[in-house]
Amino acid sequence: MSGGRLIVTNTWRVCANLSEGAASCARTGSYFGRNQWGRAGAVPFDRSAGRVLSRAMKAIASRPVASRTLALPNLLTYSRIAAVPLVVGCLYWQSILGGELWLRGVALFIFIAAGVTDFLDGYLARKWGEQSTFGRMLDPIADKLLVASCLLMLAADGTIRGWSLWAAIVILCREILVSGLREYLAELRVSVPVTQLAKWKTTVQLVAVGFLVAGEAGDSVVPVVTPVGLTLLWLSALLTLYTGWDYFRAGARHLIED
């Protein structure tokens, strides 16, 4: 490249960001810029560098969108959503249709596998640099679908009953309220990040529901499985209330301003 050090203008920056612009610079052999004396005009351009830049920009522009949506972390999130009807089906078959207790074991196995994907998808996304807006949106939705559907089935089969129903109601109501708040703030271009305590809340919820999914089958081996699950359910309800208040407080300023 000749003409001394070049201070490239915004015109060249736009050109560099578009593969067509890079190709044009490579064809004409010049681009609009300023030299070190501040004179504007066409400045000689290295054609070989322009061709390399053009190919690179075309490769980026032609990269299919599906490559991100089908990344392994997102596939793990999809599998967690796919596990919902399987777990619910096993619980329904065992408790409502009078199936064998081994169906509880199958439901628990699928639920544990789904819970493990909740850890792996985030870990792999961070490790491999596969984090995306789509993944951040879908991950909490998958968690909510899994937990909410299991809570409804456990209430239907009587595993969660009496005063413990209030813990399940608190969890479900909070998830609906926070989801609505997030959707509203998203329209205002405001992002509410997930706190570390909220992640612990989700973990406690999954462990509690796991104990309750084991239910009768677990009690036949260790008699305290269901009571432990109900205790953890109340703990997760308290964490749910606290983190829900945190989210509401974070979004209240934007609600008032609007």
Could you tell me the residue ranges of all domains in the chain?
10-61, 66-257
pLDDT score recorded for residue 54: 56
pLDDT score recorded for residue 85: 96
SS3 state of residue 6: coil
- 8 A C-beta contact, residue 126 and residue 139: no
Query: Hey, how many other C-beta atoms are within 10 angstroms of the C-beta on 17?
Result: 12
pLDDT score recorded for residue 194: 75
Instruction: Check: pTM over 0.75? Answer yes or no.
Output: no
- Alpha-carbon distance of 202 to 91, in angstroms, equals 21
Measured CA to CA in angstroms, residue 200 lies from 47, 187, 192, 227 at distances of 55, 27, 17, 21
pLDDT one-digit tens code per residue, 235-252: 999 999 998 888 888 777
Amino acid at 236: S
pLDDT one-digit tens code per residue, 130-184: 888 787 888 889 999 999 999 999 999 999 999 999 999 999 999 898 888 878 7
pLDDT score recorded for residue 129: 82
Which of 172, 190, 199 minimizes the C-alpha distance to 253? 190
Q: What's the CATH number for 66-257?
A: 1.20.120.1760
Residues of the chain where predicted confidence (pLDDT) is lower than 50: 1-20, 22-38, 40-43, 45, 60-66
Chain centroid offset of residue 100 CA: 35
By CB neighbour count within 10 A (0-12 exposed, 13-18 middle, 19+ buried), where does 187 fall?
A: exposed
- Alpha-carbon distance of 148 to 122, in angstroms, equals 21
pLDDT score recorded for residue 44: 53
